[in-house]
Amino acid sequence: MEIDDQTILHHIQKAKQGEAIGFTFLLDHYWNQVYGFQIKRVNNEYEAEDITIETFSKAFDRIETFDENYAFATWLIAISKNIQIDRSRKKNASLYENTTDTSDEQVQRIPDQAPTPEDILIREQNLAQLLRYIKQLKPHYQDVINLRYFQERSYKEISEILEEPLNNVKVRLLRAKKLLAEIIHQNDTR
């Protein structure tokens, strides 16, 4: 289905207002484009995925600065490229530094609304079947699902446990829920 510029602009405005539907749409719509860009640059799926997650984290953190006269995809790719360059420099210099340049107090929160359909499915599914579905996810997605839904940890606790910035945890969880919902949907339609 072709998505027009007005639909994209509408969701950007929703995200600027802090509405989860805007963030979710933008993540779903642009994920493959940013991930594809990074996989070609770093040639490593885990690193490409981490950079993509960080890209959306930073973009969502600074969504209010996006100028709607320009293409959102171009803005995301620029952020992604800069993250990858920074990571390469840090790797080459053998320095470990926090992957975000904002403090925890400065990080804006991505709204966590009432339960989504994926949340409801997670709670209602047979536990054994659900665990089989979760096992199909990559380990770092399994970790955030486990911490959030089975250990009932807060985003802040997950951030501390995984030693990841808060926004990275939120984006990773959003992505994990989307992938899990796709797995559930694929298995339910069989």
Q: Give tens-digit pLDDT for 76-115.
A: 999 999 999 888 888 776 544 444 454 454 444 444 445 5
85/132 same-domain check: no
Based on the fold, state whether residues 133 and 77 are members of the same structural domain.
no
User: Is the pLDDT score of 136 beyond 50?
Assistant: yes
| CATH number of domain containing 137 | 1.10.10.10
pLDDT of residue 87: 85
Does residue 101 fall inside a structural domain?
Answer: no
Work out the burial of residue 72: count CB atoms within 10 Å of its CB; fewer than 13 is exposed, 13-18 middle, 19 or more buried.
Answer: buried
CATH number of the CATH domain containing 17: 1.10.1740.10
Q: Average pLDDT over the chain, rounded to whole?
A: 82
H or E segment to which residue 120 belongs: helix 117-124
Q: At which of 93, 109, 140 does a domain end? A: 93
Q: What is the mean pLDDT of residues 112-135?
A: 63
The count of residues in the chain is 190
- Region for 44 from its dihedrals, namely left if φ exceeds 0, alpha if ψ lies in -120 to 50, beta otherwise: beta
Specify the number of domains making up the chain: 2
Alpha carbon 135 to its chain centroid, in Å, reads: 19
- The answer to whether residues 176 and 124 belong to one domain is yes
Q: At 119, is the pLDDT very low, low, confident or very high (cuts 50, 70, 90)?
A: low
Q: Please report which residue ranges of 43-165 form alpha helices under DSSP H.
A: 45-61, 72-93, 117-124, 127-135, 139-145, 155-162
On whether both 89 and 121 belong to a single domain, the answer is no
Whether 148 maps to a domain, the answer reads: yes
Domain annotation covers residue 126: yes
- Tell me, yes or no, whether 79 and 41 share the same domain: yes
Classified as helix, coil or strand, 116 is coil
178 domain-assigned: yes
> Residue range 114-134: average pLDDT?
63
The pLDDT > 70 percentage for the chain reads 80
Domain edge (last residue) among 31, 59, 93: 93
| Residues 36 and 79 placed together within one structural domain of the fold | yes
Pair (53, 124) in one structural domain? no
Same domain? For 71 and 15 the reply is yes
Structural domain boundaries enclosing 176: 117-188
